[in-house]
Amino acid sequence: MELAINIKDLNFSWQKQSMFKLHISRWQVEKAQHLFLYGNSGSGKSTLLNLLSAVVSGYSGSIEILGQDLNSLSAAKRDQFRANNVGMIFQQFNLLPYLSGLQNIQLGQYFSSSNSDSKQQLLEQLTDKLQLSGSLLAQAASEMSVGQQQRVAVVRALINQPQLIIADEPTSALDSELRDHFIQLLLECAQKSTVIFVSHDKSLANHFSQQVNFADLLAQ
């Protein structure tokens, strides 16, 4: 069994929030699984995602992503590892409003070491599938609709062909029809990747092959 995520005896707390403690004794996710992680707002789901993506460190225990022990990496190596292996989609998409859609996508390529020619081919494939025209990608992100910004965020997350995709409440601002369409597009474009999709909305779970209650992870 090849694992995308392998956690053992993870403990983490924020220095300025002494009441918050995250403990997961063991959690494993196989490669290429599409997993829906649900739980109440404020329960620590986003903190876990930040740990998985090596944005946050300072924990005890072990987090292995795609066989790599994150604690063994320097800060620079963690950035490189994230750029090459992890795609992230945020609740507010985190696009820079004054940059064009294309420039926002190119930001996602900055740290990656993958081949630029293959990226260009993938960019054309993804933008075609997601119906992002050249004229639309030339617009500033601030001029785009929410749905258009969302599709740009998906391309940015997928452009480096990451083996792990982490999506943190990316559909919370959308109506039900757009939510379903977004998830279908994401999973279609990420068929070979491991996807961890986090939400408090359990109605989205039927899109995914596996569902995990965050409270059950903490109870182990």
Per-residue pLDDT reduced to its tens digit, 186-199: 898 888 899 999 98
Q: Which residues of 192-218 are buried (b: 16+ CB within 10 A; e: fewer)?
A: ebbbbbbbeeeebeebbeeebebeebb
pLDDT, position 142: 93
d(CA 108, CA 126) in angstroms, rounded, equals 14
Whether the predicted pLDDT of 26 surpasses 70: yes
Whether residue 48 contacts residue 14, with contact meaning beta carbons closer than 8 Å, is answered with no
Q: Tell me how many domains the chain contains.
A: 1
Whether the predicted pLDDT of 16 surpasses 80: no
User: In CATH, what number is assigned to the domain containing residue 141?
Assistant: 3.40.50.300
Give the length of the chain.
220
List the domain range (segments joined by +) for residue 203: 3-219
Whether the predicted pLDDT of 6 surpasses 90: yes
pLDDT, position 137: 95
The residue among 19 and 158 whose pLDDT is bigger is 158
d(CA 138, CA 151) in angstroms, rounded, equals 14
pLDDT, position 170: 83
pLDDT, position 17: 67
Q: Distances in Å between the alpha carbon of 202 and those of 40, 137, 140?
A: 10, 33, 34
In three-state secondary structure terms, 147 is: helix
Number of Cα atoms under 13 Å in the Cβ half of residue 136: 14
pLDDT digits (tens, 9 = 90+) for 112-135: 656 566 778 888 888 888 889 999
pTM attached to this predicted model: 0.86
Q: Compute the average pLDDT of residues 24-40.
A: 94
